[in-house]
Structure 1
Amino acid sequence: WHSIVDHTDADLLAEATLWAATSPAGENEAFNVNNGDIWRWCELWPRIAQWFELECAPPVRLSFHQLFNDYRAVWRELAGERLVEADILRLSDGQFADFVFGWQYDMFGDGSKLRRAGFQRMQATDEMFFSLFSQLRTARVIP
């Protein structure tokens, strides 16, 4: 909740990977790829709740893996005819979320080597999430 973290999405990762594979500056080099900003969930989570028009509750310890299994029927009912996938476990089993939200330490990569080598694209993590949520909503994956 209070740890400093970073993120990237598949589009930025693919773009950076293509750049590294085709740019002379990327030859035989390894790079950390991230959005270019760092943040804490305690700062971002209220903005995510606001995007979904929900109240932001204080953090609680839980297992998403267990939650997804326990509330599988609730998701099926929520999904109904409106969402593409009625079985939440076909979307995610929650284990990766348990891993990411379970960090009790700062977890971020130094992306400066990539930027010094010439790849300059960065993106704001909150805007990245909002864009992904919009795409998932349009595709009827989330309500």
Structure 2
Amino acid sequence: MKALLQRVTQAKVEVGGETVGAIDGGLLIFLGITPSDNEATASKLAQRVAGYRLFSDADDKMNLSLSDIQGGALVVSQFTLAADTNSGRRPSFSTAAPPQQAEPLYQAFVKALQRLDIEVATGEFGADMQVSLTNDGPVTFLLDTEKN
């Protein structure tokens, strides 16, 4: 499972011209799911995201987490994060979980964040979404459960 974290001052997702999810300060999280992922992976990644220190403290050091600042999370499914881009000029999506496996794991990740007292907004799984954000910093990190 991969989570691309972007520290934002605001972010929103629209589907068909309607806003389906929005946050003020916090994290925009693009989530890519692979066939080897499961609910334990989702829970472990949610814990890591909630506690990952990427917000500035009073000394302007990245010492605060999403939980510390009580920020929001906007979680957007993005199967392209799970693409194999190691060769050629076209990505292969054989390394991405099929939708029937990925959607329940996406929901499990969202629920795991909520259990950690994170206010969560979401996109719409499988929809053509338009994402708008103001990246704060910019600060962007990729967390990959397969690399740990």
- TM-score norm. by structure 2 comes to 0.26
- Which one has the largest radius of gyration? 1
Q: Greater strand percent: which structure?
A: 2
